[in-house]
Amino acid sequence: MSGEKETIVTLRETEYARLRKAEAALRTVESNLPQVLDAMRRQSEEELRRRLEPLEERQRQYQKAIQQVNAQVRATEVRVAQRLEKQNTEQRKALQEMAGRLRGETRRMMEEQDQRLTNLVKEERETRNRQVNGLQQAIARLENAENQQRQLAEGFIEAAQVLRDFIEKNYRHERFAPGKLAIQRRALNLADGNKAHAPQAALVQAQQAYTGLSDLRLDLEQLEREWEIRRCAALEAAKEVLELAQRNRKCKAMDEHGKEIDYVVEVDYWTDGGLSKIESVCEQIIKQTSDKDSILTKEQLEAIIEQTTPELRKQVETTIQDARMAVLSSQLRTNVADKAVQALENMGFSVQEGCYEHGDDRRGYAAKVKDIDGNEVVVLVTPVEGKPEENKLSIHSFDQAKHSHEELTERAREIADALRHEDLRVPDPKETQQGRPDTRLKDLQEFGKQKQKVSSTSANKQY
């Protein structure tokens, strides 16, 4: 004779679907409070300004640095720097106007801005190359070409040296173009070494070093700007989700009819720290994207913007839903226990006590009944992980020695029948492998560390 039988008690699919739909209708994720959005917008604007203004200032500093080189090279470089400064300023202002919604607009807007910068760089490179080619053709027509070649080589070497020094001091070249500056340094040293005895070769090498360094500066400008903009967008997106999680740590519970009730649900408690886990991920992203020496790549930042933070946002909403459904499942456990107790009362038992395991209403609920002969039965209703619509019902008979297998089976069936009348799906209870009651349930005070009287009103209990 088995002293323990169990079955799964499940809300009918239509009932569960109705409750899920009701929960979605009740869900009010607090993310659109004006004061919160305004504060986040100001933070985003300040972050963009702080990160992008130095890039504009760098163009002004470059214009000053290049003043010492020959007029023709100077004019080209100043024009490029002025165009970059202007475009950077326009882009920053456009971005600041979108502050607070960079996440949603980043891909389209940045692709557009990246293309503008690419076009600018391409135009300036073509212009510079035409000028260099024109100089070479002019020198070739001169009678005293060697002297002209030497002088022009010295001019390009001087310009290349200014570029080299400026890049070394002002760009994170090893971060965005590792090894490229070293290549151009070697080319420049070669040209400098040849200018005295091989002016024609030195001129070609000096022009190559100059154009290579000028190209490198433009590449670094574009790469760093693209990275900084994406970094700001990733930071904004992570802060938004963090704020969302923090503002939704509490929500209203709902009853079995899908109506909101006047009970505040601690979301983190009911989801075993679900929101805290999301917040931890957000805080890690914020730390990584706030670090001026961050090693995140552009691709990683794009993944944060387009995949990670949208998924985290969905997780916030899902976690709120899980909390509500977990509370409802806890309520269902007391309801199931109550109906099982009522069925046992019809068999001559009377209610003794009831409690949650360890006093934790997220865990199993146990209720004990006893008859006049001292026979005891404990019904235990425990949650099924990942399935809020299901609970496991186990019936522990501490009087199995006094009853036949058929009697215990019939008792379990009558309990199952009583639950079926409550629109629940309940297969007939089966014998467990253990075959004997759980001795922990003999003393419910020890099991729950608190008493809770089971009564016919327990179905209306709210959490």
Each residue's pLDDT expressed in tens, for the chain with a length of 463 residues: 456 788 888 877 766 677 666 666 555 555 555 666 677 777 777 777 788 888 888 888 888 888 888 776 777 777 777 777 777 777 667 666 665 555 555 556 666 766 777 777 777 777 777 766 666 666 665 545 677 778 888 888 988 999 999 999 999 999 999 999 999 999 999 988 888 888 888 888 888 898 899 889 888 988 888 898 888 889 988 988 998 899 889 888 877 777 777 788 899 999 999 999 999 999 999 999 988 788 899 999 999 998 999 999 999 988 988 898 888 888 888 888 999 999 999 999 998 899 999 999 899 999 999 988 888 999 999 999 888 888 999 999 887 667 777 888 888 899 999 888 887 888 988 888 777 888 888 889 888 875 454 443 333 333 3
Q: What is the dihedral of CA 313, 315, 317, 321, to 10 degrees?
A: 180
Q: Is 78 a member of any domain?
A: yes
Residues 72 and 214 in one domain: yes
Cα torsion angle, 278, 306, 22, 29, sign: positive
Residues 75 and 149 in one domain: yes
pLDDT at 83 (0 to 100): 77
Tokens of 231: 């970094």
Strand pairing partners for 250? 266
Give the integer Cα–Cα distance in Å for 91 and 361: 55
The residue segments making up the domain with residue 230 are 34-237
Q: Are 326 and 251 in contact (CB under 8 A)?
A: no
Residues 215 and 282 in one domain: no
| Last residue in a domain, options 325, 344, 368 | 325
**Which residues, other chains included, contact 254 with Cβ-Cβ below 8 Å and sequence gap of 6+?**
19, 22, 23, 26, 260, 261, 324, 327, 328
pLDDT at 94 (0 to 100): 67
pLDDT at 103 (0 to 100): 54
**Which residues, other chains included, contact 39 with Cβ-Cβ below 8 Å and sequence gap of 6+?**
none
Closest alpha carbon to 396 in 355, 432, 421, 346: 432
Q: At what angle do helices 309-345 and 199-247 cross, to 10 degrees?
A: 20
| Last residue in a domain, options 285, 309, 325 | 325
Residues 279 and 138 in one domain: no
Q: At what angle do helices 274-290 and 199-247 cross, to 10 degrees?
A: 150
Give the integer Cα–Cα distance in Å for 244 and 249: 9
Looking up tokens 């990670």, which residue turns up? 308
Residues 275 and 415 in one domain: no
Q: Is 26 a member of any domain?
A: no
User: Which runs of consecutive H residues, i.e. helices, occur in 264-372?
Assistant: 267-270, 274-290, 298-303, 309-345
Give the integer Cα–Cα distance in Å for 445 and 53: 67
Q: Is 67 a member of any domain?
A: yes
pLDDT at 28 (0 to 100): 56
Q: How far is CA 454 from CA 23, 57, 335, 337, 367, in A?
A: 28, 74, 10, 9, 7
What is the 8-class DSSP label of residue 452?
B
Q: Is 24 a member of any domain?
A: no
pLDDT at 457 (0 to 100): 33
Q: Is 381 a member of any domain?
A: yes
| Last residue in a domain, options 306, 325, 344 | 325
pLDDT at 105 (0 to 100): 56
Residues 73 and 52 in one domain: yes
Residues 75 and 176 in one domain: yes
Closest alpha carbon to 263 in 317, 331, 311, 344: 331
pLDDT at 319 (0 to 100): 93
Give the integer Cα–Cα distance in Å for 136 and 156: 12
7: buried, middle or exposed (CB in 10 Å: 19+, 13-18, 0-12)? buried
Q: Are 229 and 110 in contact (CB under 8 A)?
A: yes
Residues 356 and 427 in one domain: yes
Residues 333 and 321 in one domain: no
Tokens of 248: 């939704």
Q: How far is CA 236 from CA 35, 38, 294, 454, in A?
A: 16, 13, 16, 51
pLDDT at 233 (0 to 100): 86
Residues 293 and 392 in one domain: no
Helix/strand/coil for 106 = helix
Q: Are 375 and 350 in contact (CB under 8 A)?
A: no
Give the integer Cα–Cα distance in Å for 328 and 388: 8
Residues 86 and 232 in one domain: yes
Give the integer Cα–Cα distance in Å for 307 and 299: 11
Give the integer Cα–Cα distance in Å for 62 and 58: 6
Q: Is 25 a member of any domain?
A: no
pLDDT at 152 (0 to 100): 81
Tell me how many domains the chain contains. 3
Q: Which CATH number is 450's domain given?
A: 3.30.160.110
Give the integer Cα–Cα distance in Å for 453 and 213: 83
pLDDT at 460 (0 to 100): 35
Give the integer Cα–Cα distance in Å for 229 and 124: 23
Residues 42 and 181 in one domain: yes
Strand pairing partners for 381? 365, 393
Q: Is 178 a member of any domain?
A: yes
pLDDT at 454 (0 to 100): 45
Closest alpha carbon to 360 in 333, 338, 398: 333
Q: Is 75 a member of any domain?
A: yes
